[in-house]
Structure 1
């Protein structure tokens, strides 16, 4: 907790969880993948037993059942040996291609898209070798986030054609808009993302198991093939999903070469009850393509141009009374679980947490990485977990008022551009960039002060603040434009100039104020 970064064994991570701030690996996506690995081990340790809200609260207060975790890791130790001769961790011991080739580490290290070293933190000699520990972290990350495209054709895989393994998509976690909650230390972070079962619901994910327990270890060369009996059964399976077949080659105490082949494919449609750490979106296109009589939900991946706070209203738990199956967005199971804990009064309401969004944005045919998404929103646990409709409406209104104010500024920029005979899209995008940059830090600060008890009262404060910030940007625009667009021009039987554009802009902001601030508050302000 002193800020130092150290390496720990898996067991020591659990033993020291209350003394560790967070997982801090090479990349945020690695942190996320390792967090999911740790959670899968906790789930596996407690399999067959009900983790209800009361037991969850006991673990949150007293600590994880480390003795049980240690016993589980000892009983399954052969699966956590990176170079076990038969069951190496997250690998296939005999994996090879027809030429017995070995390949460079650019196929393992995800911050180095092959042939594009401009995105790397490891160039040249830095890719010659990695330590066993870094190799293990990269291995977990690869299964979770690997790019799509052609891989090495592995002996024993009937899918191979002409020595190549053709694409099955990205790693499973790369398809998600990763969402998790961070607490004061690693123990609390693990607990906040450990989904249990409400007493009224029965056992959840009863047949779930991690990859090392379900992999077809006895299949010989056919280990390279798709696992014919594998099913997506819940978080244990999905958090450890073997999207690739991999083999690491040690040499002189380091890892220098690797083989990466295709692994187990997984379709993303309607996985929302099995995958707890992502939001979801209703996809009419998928419903039509699959000819499904019911809505089809896809993972709601992150938009790099959209800050996480702009989505926060759709990431809140729906609560037990919500029975609709046709919402545009569905929140994560982990968020719904926090809502259950909140309703059962098992959470410390004033506990500060961070809602963390993480993921990759893939480029052409998902075969390259364009961007890494990593954003957080801080607030009180009760605010994120509350299922009170008034609280959720206040949060949604705060975001919506901001969005409408930005739209008003975009329209102002477009109207000024029209008065000058310019293209509209460039000024609109510039206005959006300026607006969201101005709103970003103030919104985060405002949200961090919000509680279920005060957020309705705080909403007018935010709306006024947002409108003030946007008004200042708009007035600066018109002051710079007035000298060259005072008289303006006619366009589609309408006069456009800077003064008129400003008047329309002010009118739009006034309508937003009226829509989101109660009349009594407006009268008091006057």
Structure 2
């Protein structure tokens, strides 16, 4: 992407076509040709929601408006791509109206503050934008670069990491900017992470980029809020809006002014500093300062699931955004993804706005029963007062749209039962492991230490669960096939559990056969390998009821 090409027509956004070809396109081609593109082909999973929110979705919403009914949404879906009239509107939006606002290095640069200067006059390496590279306090364990090294970003790479920083940047101390009256001693403190760092992101996806854009388009009966503007059109906000301009160094603590403002929320004030190198124009230095602080994640946030609180503390919301659990596959969290109704009693999960809407669209027959719905989940785990990135969480999952029917649990409940079975079998394996350790004279592993057999077991069945979910997308209303799928899943669990259990029993030393006696809650209990194996098989049979007869037959034969 050349300096004069900009984001609109310059080839900078990596995509994969429906034919499998990987190439780079500009904004205009990505949108008008979205029906021929399978997906965005981005460097890291956390970049997908950043590009959708900071760029693609707000352009479509602002240029074309959001659907005001599910019928209007269904009409757009049936088109399979943007109509000729819609393409003309996008062309006008990215041309005469706002085309000059999608330049990286201009007098009004995209998502930046022109001329932004640190109070100390210094700039920082471009590594500050990339969480996986060492910079300042953020020192990843396996980073190939140190803060002293240069990271030359092409303009295309810089554009992607610029949007990523607005969404995911670390918290804590930021460089004070010239013109920022709230900076003290050359810095600002108390900065939160970027908005997406506050929750676990859930992005529904389709077979094409066009379908993905639609699946991430909420139906709003009243349309967009009056005066709601994206960050590149902030000068058009109402005069009554007291928020500071993202094109200047000052910032404010404020709520989002609407969907467009929420998606493009300017959580940092950033300036990319280009330099000519032997390889062409590169971004080696940046200035990153404090930006607007979102007062609260609003209930309209489309890309998170929620935890509903039955008795919230005084002054607190009854709902708070859910985070993804580290070390767990996305399918292990299907209970939250498929929680389509508010919990009636006590605390509980509530799925995202967009997944609930997808179920409603399927119920209204605007989505076919065999629609290839996918779900991308991602999140960052921060440490040390959220000033460093400790871990990235990302997964993708096929999901049957019929499982999102709020009024019918015929498919959703069996899927949740399959997930629950895997979780229970995993705990039974850990119980066997603990009993064998006691039989040998040891102690069970602490909850947060050591390698557990449950982790190996869940990894072993991971691929089968994904195939199961993908297969159920085309099941229609075939109850017999559903029953066979559940039985096949139990066979998978049983075989994987027995393999893991056999390994644990084979590794137990001879003294485990004799075992030992110890007091547990005031009672003397004998722990030995034979007893542990018997308890394991009994509990396994209680969980996997469809295979209990087969298991009994195998035991007799043995």
Task: Provide TM-score, normalisation by structure 1.
Answer: 0.88
Q: Equivalent of 1:132, from 118, 143, 155? A: 155
Query: As a proportion of its length, which structure holds more helix?
Result: 1
For 1:332-411, list aligned pairs within 5 A: 332-384=352-404, 387-411=407-431
CA contact (8 A) 2:203 2:376 kept: yes
Q: Which range is displaced more, 256-265 or 4-13? A: 4-13
CA contact (8 A) 1:148 1:367 kept: yes
Match of 1:446 in 2: 468
Match of 1:488 in 2: 515
Once the two structures are superposed, residues 265-324 of structure 1 have per-residue CA deviations (whole angstroms, 9 ceiling, x without a partner) of 12445x2x3111111223579x32x544xx5322212222111000123212626xx685
CA contact (8 A) 2:541 2:547 kept: no
Q: Displacement, 1:233?
A: 3.9
CA contact (8 A) 1:92 1:247 kept: yes
Once the two structures are superposed, residues 148-181 of structure 1 have per-residue CA deviations (whole angstroms, 9 ceiling, x without a partner) of 1211101222321111111321110122211112
Q: Equivalent of 1:462, from 489, 492, 495? A: 489
Q: Equivalent of 1:106, from 127, 138, 142? A: 127
Match of 2:181 in 1: 158
Change (3 A) 1:51 1:520: farther
Point out where structure 1 has 5 or more consecutive residues left out of the alignment. Answer: none
For 1:34-433, list aligned pairs within 5 A: 34-36=51-53, 37-47=55-65, 50-62=67-79, 63-64=81-82, 65-74=86-95, 75-85=97-107, 87-115=108-136, 116=139, 118-120=141-143, 127-197=150-220, 202-203=222-223, 208-214=228-234, 223-227=248-252, 231-252=255-276, 253-268=281-296, 271=298, 273-282=299-308, 287-288=312-313, 290-292=314-316, 296-316=318-338, 318=340, 324=344, 327-384=347-404, 387-425=407-445, 429-433=451-455
CA distance in 2: counterparts of 1:221 and 1:268, whole angstroms: 19
Change (3 A) 1:179 1:205: farther
CA distance in 2: counterparts of 1:97 and 1:424, whole angstroms: 54
Q: Which range is displaced more, 488-497 or 389-398? A: 389-398
Match of 1:20 in 2: 37
CA distance in 2: counterparts of 1:204 and 1:395, whole angstroms: 36
Once the two structures are superposed, residues 25-53 of structure 1 have per-residue CA deviations (whole angstroms, 9 ceiling, x without a partner) of 22111222112221121111233x64422
CA distance in 1: counterparts of 2:146 and 2:20, whole angstroms: 27
Once the two structures are superposed, residues 336-355 of structure 1 have per-residue CA deviations (whole angstroms, 9 ceiling, x without a partner) of 11011011110021122321
Point out where structure 2 has 5 or more consecutive residues left out of the alignment. Answer: 1-16
Q: Displacement, 1:222?
A: 9.2
Q: How many residues align?
A: 510
Query: As a proportion of its length, which structure holds more strand?
Result: 2
What is the root-mean-square deviation in Å for CA atoms of aligned residues?
Answer: 3.2
Q: What SS is found at the alignment partner of 2:117?
A: coil
Task: Provide TM-score, normalisation by structure 2.
Answer: 0.83
Change (3 A) 1:312 1:117: closer
Q: What SS is found at the alignment partner of 2:398?
A: strand
